[in-house]
Chain A
Amino acid sequence: MTLSLRFRAAIVSLALLGVFLGVWHLATRGGGATATMSPEYAKLMGLTATQGKSAMPGPLDVGAKLWEHLKRPFYDNGPNDKGLGIQLAYSIGRVGLGYLIAVIVAIPLGFMIGMSPLISKALDPFIQVLKPISPLAWMPLALYTIKDSSISAIFVIFICSVWPMLLNTAFGVAGVRKEWINVARTLEVGTVRRAFTVILPAAAPTILTGMRISIGIAWLVIVAAEMLVGGTGIGYFVWNEWNNLSITNVIIAILLIGLVGMLLDQVLARFTRMVTFPE
Chain B
Amino acid sequence: MTDKFISIEGIARRYPGAGGGTTTVFQDFWLSMARGEFGCVIGHSGCGKTTVLNILAGLDEPSEGTVIVDGQGIEGTSLDRAVIFQSHALLPWRTVLGNVAYAVSSKWRKWDRARVKAHAQKFIDLVGLTGSEHKHPSELSGGMKQRVGIARALSITPKIMLMDEPFSALDALTRGTLQDEVRRICLETGQTTFMITHDVDEAIFLADKIFLMTNGPGAVLAEIVENPLPKERGRIDLHRHPYYYALRNHIVDFLVSRSKSFAAEVTDHDPRHVPTVRPGLGEPVIVSPPRVVEPNPAQSVAR
Are B138 and A186 in contact, CB atoms less than 8 angstroms apart?
no
Known interface pairs A179-B89, A183-B91; A188-B78 also in contact (CB < 8 Å): yes
Provide the residues of chain A in CB contact with B82, threshold 8 Å: 186
| Interface of chain B residues 26 through 59 with chain A (CB within 8 A) | 57-59
Are A185 and B77 in contact, CB atoms less than 8 angstroms apart?
yes
Are B59 and A186 in contact, CB atoms less than 8 angstroms apart?
yes
Are B106 and A179 in contact, CB atoms less than 8 angstroms apart?
no
Contact with B along A175-200 (1 / 0, CB 8 A): 00101101101111100000001100
Taking a contact as CB atoms closer than 8 A, the residue among B78, B83, B89, B138 that contacts A180 in the complex is B89
Known interface pairs A278-B136, A278-B138; A188-B106 also in contact (CB < 8 Å): yes
Does A201 belong to the interface (CB within 8 Å)?
Answer: yes
Does B179 belong to the interface (CB within 8 Å)?
Answer: no
Does B163 belong to the interface (CB within 8 Å)?
Answer: no
Alpha-carbon distance A202/B76, docked complex (angstroms): 24
Alpha-carbon distance A180/B138, docked complex (angstroms): 15
Known interface pairs A188-B77, A278-B136; A182-B83 also in contact (CB < 8 Å): yes
Are A277 and B77 in contact, CB atoms less than 8 angstroms apart?
no
Are A187 and B102 in contact, CB atoms less than 8 angstroms apart?
yes
Q: Count contacts on B: residues with CB < 8 A to the other chain.
A: 24
Alpha-carbon distance A75/B137, docked complex (angstroms): 54
Known interface pairs A185-B59, A187-B79, A279-B138; A180-B106 also in contact (CB < 8 Å): no
Alpha-carbon distance A174/B59, docked complex (angstroms): 18
Alpha-carbon distance A187/B82, docked complex (angstroms): 8
Provide the residues of chain B in CB contact with A177, threshold 8 Å: 89
Interface centre among A187, A275, A277 (most CB of B within 10 A): A187
Tell me how far the C-beta of A131 lies from the nearest C-beta in chain B, rounded to whole angstroms. Answer: 30
Alpha-carbon distance A185/B87, docked complex (angstroms): 16
Are B87 and A187 in contact, CB atoms less than 8 angstroms apart?
no
Alpha-carbon distance A188/B103, docked complex (angstroms): 9
Are B93 and A277 in contact, CB atoms less than 8 angstroms apart?
yes
**Which chain A residue has the least Cβ–Cβ distance from B60?**
A182
Alpha-carbon distance A123/B102, docked complex (angstroms): 34
Tell me how far the C-beta of A273 lies from the nearest C-beta in chain B, rounded to whole angstroms. Answer: 13
Residues of A within 8 A of B (CB): 177, 179-180, 182-183, 185-189, 197-198, 201-202, 275, 277-279
